[in-house]
A and B are shown apart, each in its own frame.
Chain A
Amino acid sequence: MELLEFARGPGLAVSLTVFAIGVAWRIYGILRLGRKPDFSAPRSIQTTAGAWRMILRRMWPHREFYADSAGATFNGYLYHVGWFVAFLAFVPHIAFIERLTGVSWPALPDTVIYVATALAILGLVAALLRRLTDPVLRLLSNFDDYFSWIVTMLPLITGMALIHGGYHDLKQVPPTPYTTPLALHLLSLELLLVWMPFGKLSHAFLVFLSRGTTGAAFARKGAQP
């Protein structure tokens, strides 16, 4: 079996399955511990609205924290937005998702994608440098932080390696003569899918649960989100 065939077939199926089961298990593992009822007289019963308010409010730091955290937050936006633009708005990626799901949407020009990818890479490098040099981050960091960084970076690097070949007829299977680099690119995505439920990358879904929990509790108390 060619590597690309593996990546497109069993590799993809297995990684998606591990991703789905892993995410479900992680969430179940959290919720199974249960919560006690809260009998305190609420200042507000709009707890769902409070959860969403916190989810939105924490997308940018409070003014009081700008001096310390705005830079890192901005850099976070750089690599998050860059990564997702490259992932979701690139012609071949949309074609790939359409083949899998039948759903498609308009793409952004290739130049935008290249810029987004470059910014994402720069942002991730900056984040890594900060992690390696800041005493607080050095103390907190463990295997998960560095491995998650590698897993996030690999699709960008392997994708950049493909760019010089261009993409040809997208309907053609395989769509490009560069089968091994393409296989590696796809495998890097699959590695990310497999790792996601287990490490810190799961903040992609836990962010809603975590901010929402505090947001609801704070709304109940009438505290500022």
Chain B
Amino acid sequence: MTDVNIRFPLDLDSPRFSIRKPEVRSDRQGDMTDAERVDRAMQSFMKDFSATTATYMESCIHCGHCADACHFYKVTGDPKYTPIWKLEPFKQAYKREAGPFAFAYRAFNLKPKVTLAELEEWQHLLYDSCTMCGRCTMICPMGIDIATLISQARHGMFNAGLVPHELWAVAERAEREGSPLGATAKVLKDRIEWLADDYEVEIPLDKPQAEVVCTLSSIEIMKYPESIVALAKILNHLGTDWTLRSDGYEATNFGLLSGNAAWQKDMTMKLINAAVAAGARTLVLPECGHAYGALRWQGANIYGKPLPFTVLHISEFLAEQVNSGKLKLKKLDKSVTFHDPCQVSRRGGATQAPRDVLQAMGADLRESRDSGALGWCCGGGGGVVTIHRADELRHAAFDINIRQINATGAEIPVTSCSNCRQTFDDGQAHYQWDKSMNSLLELVADHIAD
């Protein structure tokens, strides 16, 4: 650990809104010279420059539209939050080192070398003020997928030891302990025993073979354990041959969020290996947004070949069950609005699934003005919710969600991502809002028709 820990002691267990005025700072990890940091960032950037990256880097026409899609720009009006601007050092490195005219950029110094000062300044832009929600991709007239590029730029930042410290710390803890929030395999086992006793529900753990392997988010294990009960109730009701596995249960991937590709791989491989060991036909991902992107769309590429099982988000799994008629639900006598988790809906393509499930409950679904693939991020994705110094900005962005949801007149908001839910809980407390976010999974469990 670095001196940052001493200067800014971490308190990871208190409620997120406990720190009123976090000191603005740029964090560093590891003992490296300034030149080494820059070199490591450049080497990492170079590794990520592919034809896809190049296509995007070459295509920006500086139209500035992406700013209008970004919640952080919308609530501050500060041009530095323009999504493509958040990539400036990455773009600079690309143009100078890898683009078709890199030789000219170098020979005439048209793009100067990226400096440590720049990288440190951009730490705030690449981490605190980007949730990688990809709404900017939806407005870009050139179709540039900025979120993908941010994710790549974070690799360089991690290698240079330039990650916001709280995010770095939870990622490191996730790699070391198997969970970013201390939900180790032992904690999980204890929790499951407690939940199974308290709620009188069977929660299978470590069955050697199972058709369906379910995974969890640490946020569920530590903060919303009723989610685990809900999952068990539904799967037991369906008579599914399922299990949780202590060798691969944690679906959040802080390797991905912090920018450590090796840790991302470790975390992904645990899930893959657990499902393979169980001979599973399906791996069900929890109510978590980025877990979906990490395994559903990136998992096979980390594995190096197609996965030998199907990956479903829990909302997709539930939609399959209600659409096939296997799961019958009682009527939900409330008007609802659905908050789309960006990584599942906009960036994952599973926009319809939760709506099918809500429809199966006969819910009065009231879409917000900007919903589905064009919905607004909760503001806490991409690891932002872990970064204390970003709280003020995140809360400001959250106001968009309050306005959008209030305008629907719906009685309850529902989502299918525990990170969104935690961000909503925090936002609710901050603004003393009268609405609490609900879990789709828990609603379904409460409405199983016998």
Contact = CB atoms under 8 A, between A and B. Distances in A.
A41 interface: yes
A137 B62 contact: yes
Contacts of B62: 137, 140-142, 144-145, 200
Contacts of A139: 79-80, 82, 85
Nearest to A224: B373
B365 interface: no
A212 B142 CA distance: 9
B296 interface: yes
Interface stretch (B214-222, B273-281, B302-310): B302-310
Contacts of A198: 101
Contacts of A203: 59, 61, 142
Interface string B79-118: 1101011000000000000111100000000000000000
B99 A137 contact: no
A209 B347 contact: no
Given A39-B300, A215-B143, A224-B346, A33 B373 contact: no
A106 interface: no
A interface SS class = helix
B161 interface: no
Contacts of B374: 62, 64, 224
Contacts of A39: 300-301, 303-307
A177 B374 CA distance: 58
Nearest to A37: B301
A214 interface: yes
Contacts, number: 165
A25 B84 CA distance: 25
B49 interface: yes
Interface string A42-62: 010000000000110010011
A30 to B, nearest CB: 4
B139 A206 contact: no
A180 interface: no
Nearest to B111: A142
A76 B65 CA distance: 12
A8 interface: no
Interface string B374-394: 100000000000000000000
A130 to B, nearest CB: 9
Contacts of B141: 58, 61, 73, 76
Contact of B69 (A43, A65, A142): A65
Interface in A126-150: 134-142, 144-145
Nearest to B370: A64
B111 to A, nearest CB: 10
Contacts of A222: 349-350
Given A136-B67, A214-B145, A221-B349, A36 B82 contact: no
A135 B85 CA distance: 12
A40 B298 contact: yes
A176 interface: no
Interface string B38-66: 00000000000111111110111111110
A166 B98 CA distance: 49
Nearest to A44: B349
Contact of B79 (A54, A61, A136, A144): A136
Contacts of B63: 72, 137
Contacts of A206: 55, 58-59, 142
A217 interface: yes
B144 interface: yes
Nearest to B73: A136
A54 B59 CA distance: 15
A104 interface: no
Nearest to A222: B349
A209 B100 CA distance: 15
A207 interface: yes
B253 to A, nearest CB: 15
B184 interface: no
B346 to A, nearest CB: 6
B369 interface: yes
B79 to A, nearest CB: 4
Contacts of A65: 65, 68-69, 138-139
A202 B55 CA distance: 12
Contact of B58 (A30, A134, A137, A214): A30
A35 interface: yes
30 contacts: A25-B100, A26-B100, A29-B99, A30-B51, A33-B49, A36-B50, A36-B301, A38-B301, A40-B306, A41-B311, A43-B349, A58-B140, A62-B139, A62-B374, A64-B369, A64-B374, A72-B65, A136-B67, A136-B73, A137-B64, A140-B84, A200-B60, A207-B142, A210-B59, A213-B56, A218-B349, A221-B347, A221-B349, A222-B350, A224-B346
Interface of A: 25-26, 28-41, 43, 54-55, 58, 61-62, 64-65, 68-69, 72-73, 76, 134-142, 144-145, 198, 200, 202-203, 206-207, 209-215, 217-218, 221-224
Return the 3 tightest CB-CB contacts between A and B, nearest first. Answer: A29-B100, A222-B349, A211-B143
